[in-house]
Structure 1
Amino acid sequence: MGVSSDNLNGLVLAVSSSFFIGSSFIVKKKGLKKAGLNGLRAGSGGYSYLYEPLWWAGLLTMIIGELANFAAYAFAPAILVTPLGALSIIFSALLAHFLLNEKLHIFGMLGCLLCVVGSISIALHAPQERAIESVKQVWQLATQPGFIVYTCFVLIMVLILIFLFVPKYGQKHMTVYIGICSLMGSITVMSVKALGIALKLTFSGSNQFKYFQTWFFTVVVVVCCVLQMDYLNKALDTFNTAVVSPVYYVMFTSLTIIASMIMFKDWDSQNASQIATELCGFVTILSGTFLLHKTKDMGDDMSPQSSLFASPNTEPSIFRSPNHEVPIFSNPNEEPHIFTNSKSASRKV
């Protein structure tokens, strides 16, 4: 099955986004290492990296990646763009292997291969985006009964988790925090997609910012992102990052695909064989992602934190935007490590 023009644009933007974001971790780390040779290392409390051009180049690279990811939603359906976020893990792992001498285990290489195979499968069978000529059309899709029911379900579940489960179980079961982030994340992506479409139409000459719907979606994006960042950082400050990251990826991506199916009816024009192929591709990516993260613990005894209901620890936190992990410091002076075989190798910046 061929790839439509818009899907191809979205695919290129999504892959470019993953490359830039994955590369940014490597560039930042090289900047930190170089800064450590001329001043107090970041891990020892120094801030000399702020004077290092390489570190700023890494930050700029990450910003470019996030902008490309944002733009990808304006062209392609979420079922194509969202799962491709896993590719940033591959780029980080491969670049760290070749440029930083942080060796990738053989099973990590297999994980990379699985992610690539799954991504290709989804790209070749992704549904074509429907033609949208105004943000008002997106508003009509967002206010249809099915998506309103889904939105109400999300809001009710988030409120229940925040007010009933967080006080009692938040520090014991990471699925509480991750559940809040994933539920809100699915709404975030739908709003990001609506805003991306509005910007795309505006740049083509049809101003969409004269409609209140565009500003409504903008407010939803900001509010949902802030809420996501808050609770995801709580999860990552409390539990093992190597466990939280893949579990969050699974929940966030799954709920985003469900939300996209309900709102944009992505699979209406597809047959059962195409849908099954896309699901198999998604499962393949999930398998590769878990294998990549699991590789970091190879050779070490499994700790209690490897459980889904992991006990608290003090791993550094990261924030994931709709598709990618973006580092946020628990301790801003820690130096990054990427994809080595020790348990301390959680991605940091």
Structure 2
Amino acid sequence: MITMILGEVANFAAYAFAPAVLVTPLGALSIIFSAVLAHFVLKEKLHMFGVVGCILCVVGSVGIVLHAPKEREIDSIDEIWHLATEPGFIVYSCVAVVSVLFLIFWVAERSGHRKMLVYIAICSTMGSLTVISVKAVAIALKLSFGGSNQFIYIQTWFFIVVVIVCCLVQLNYLNKALDSFNTAVVSPVYYVMFTILTIFANMIMYKDSFSRNATQIATQLCGFVTIVAGTFLLHKTRDMGNEPPLPDDEICLDGGSVRPDRLSQSSS
């Protein structure tokens, strides 16, 4: 639990020094470390497809890092507020909030327990707003530690409230998705949708994609697709090679096992 908290603090700090387009996709690296540690610590066999999935995640991450956009210099929370109140991002925020409310109060009540994408769409849409707000708070903290107190502005506290509300909504519906559907399917789908919407929201607000050429954008997209493929392969085949437990009807009292057809033959 301590290491998990430290990891989230480090992830929060990363948004203060790097663009969200770079930080968010690299979250797939945690899947690699989990798979490798499970192989050595938990004795869960990492089969050939798992190794290929890890390699794909590493290759995709390297491509994203090498072609990541330069971080935009932010000097105050007022500058972030100005970017957040431009027409493009206001339209995106309104569409996102209306879509989430529609999904929560109309769609989720009727078919959320049967359609996985309903819960994941809620989590991913709110997640894109969470990342934007987290980045604003992280930059405010960085500037405050640098000597320019940003917590005297109401805008900073507004972003903090948005972070809290969005995180609560995300946790609630992510737990519902995990309770209702297979984790091996929920995790990669949520990662893909969350990352796409986060990158899209970041592009609208910070407009960092306009400073890059077509080759850089295409390379970063290829890196992201490679990570998605590796993540999906890891999750889809993570139980391959691990022997399933014997059914109850094949377990004997002495610890051995016997097939049901042999039981019928011996009884006859």
1:97 counterpart residue number: 39
User: How far does the alpha carbon of each residue in 1:97-129 deviate from its partner, in whole angstroms, 9 at most, with x for none?
Assistant: 122221111101100000000000000000001
Contact 1:127 1:266 in 2 (8 A): yes
- Distance in structure 1 (CA, Å) of the matches to 2:17 and 2:8: 15
Map residues 49-128 of structure 1 onto 2, 5 A cutoff.
59-128=1-70
The CA distance in 2 between the partners of 1:264 and 1:125, in whole Å, is 17
2:97 corresponds to 1:164 = no
**Are 2:237 and 1:295 aligned?**
yes
1:320 — aligned with what?
none
Residue 3 (structure 1) aligns with: none
C-alpha separation between the residues in 1 aligned to 2:97 and 2:13? Answer: 27
Match of 1:41 in 2: none
- Gap runs ≥5 in structure 2: 246-268
What secondary structure sits across from 1:268 in the alignment? helix
Partner of 2:85: 143
Shift of 1:204: 0.7
Match of residue 71 from structure 2: 129
Contact 1:111 1:289 in 2 (8 A): yes
Counterpart of 1:78 in structure 2: which amino acid? A
Please tell me the residue identity of whatever aligns with 1:75: F
Hey, which bits of structure 1, 4+ residues long, moved more than 6 A?
A: none
Contact between 1:135 and 1:198, CA under 8 Å: does it hold in 2? Answer: yes
- The residue number in structure 1 matching 2:209 is 267
TM-score by length of 1: 0.69
Q: 1:153 is matched with which residue?
A: 95
Give the structure 1 partner of residue 226 of structure 2: 284
How far apart are the structure 2 equivalents of 1:162 and 1:277? 36
Q: Which residue number corresponds to residue 326 of structure 1?
A: none
Residue 250 (structure 1) aligns with: 192
Secondary structure, counterpart of 2:208 in structure 1: coil
Pairing 1:227-238 to 2, within 5 Å after superposition:
227-238=169-180
- Tell me which moved more, 92-101 or 61-70: 92-101
- Alignment CA distance shift 1:341-1:267 (3 Å): farther
Counterpart in 2 of 1:223? 165
Secondary structure, aligned partner of 1:232: helix
The whole-number CA distance in structure 2 between the counterparts of 1:278 and 1:170 is: 33
Taking structure 1 as reference, are residues 69 and 293 closer, same or farther at Cα in structure 2, changes over 3 Å only? same
1:176 aligned partner: 118
What SS does the corresponding residue of 1:220 show, helix, strand or coil? helix
Cα distance in 2 for partners of 1:152, 1:213 equals: 18
Give the structure 2 partner of residue 188 of structure 1.
Answer: 130
In 2, the alpha carbon distance for the partners of 1:194 and 1:121 equals: 26
CA RMSD of aligned residues (A): 1.3
Cα drift, residue 297 of structure 1:
4.3
Q: Max radius of gyration: which structure?
A: 2
Give the distance between the partners of 1:342 and 1:209, measured in 2 at CA. 55
2:156 matched to 1:214?
A: yes
State the distance in 1 between where 2:193 and 2:244 align. 26
CA distance in 2, matches of 1:167, 1:92: 34
Give the Å deviation of 1:159.
Answer: 1.0
Instruction: Tell me the distance in 1 between the aligned counterparts of 2:113 and 2:43.
Output: 36
Q: Aligned partner of 1:284: which letter?
A: T
Cα deviation, 1:68-95, whole Å, max 9, x if unaligned, reads: 0000000111110000111001001111
Which sits farther off after the overlay, 70-79 or 159-168? Answer: 159-168
Post-superposition offset of 1:342: 5.8
Give the counterpart letter for 2:223 in structure 1. Answer: G
Alpha-carbon spacing, 1:341–1:82, altered in 2? closer, same or farther (3 Å): farther
Between structures 1 and 2, the one with greater helix share: 2
Mark the runs of 5 or more structure 1 residues left unpaired by the alignment: 1-58, 300-339, 344-349
1:19-61 deviation digits (Å, cap 9, x = unpaired) = xxxxxxxxxxxxxxxxxxxxxxxxxxxxxxxxxxxxxxxx111
Distance 2:239 2:222 in 1: 26
Q: CA, structure 1 residues 206+93, in 2 after alignment: closer, same or farther (shift >3 Å)?
A: same
Q: CA 1:73–1:342 in 2, change beyond 3 Å: closer, same or farther?
A: farther
Q: Determine whether 1:241 maps to 2:217.
A: no
Aligned partners of 2:31 and 2:239: how far apart in 1?
A: 16
Identity of aligned residues (%): 70
Instruction: Give, as a single letter, the amino acid of the residue that structure 2 aligns with 1:207.
Output: N
Q: Distance in 1 between matches of 2:138 and 2:155?
A: 13
CA distance in 1 between counterparts of 2:184 and 2:194 reads 16
- 1 or 2 for the larger relative contact order (CA 8 Å, sep ≥6)? 2
Q: In the comparison of the two structures, how many residue pairs are matched?
A: 245
Matches for 1:303-314 after TM superposition, within 5 Å: none
Q: Kindly state the Cα deviation for residue 341 of structure 1 after the two structures are TM-superposed.
A: 6.9
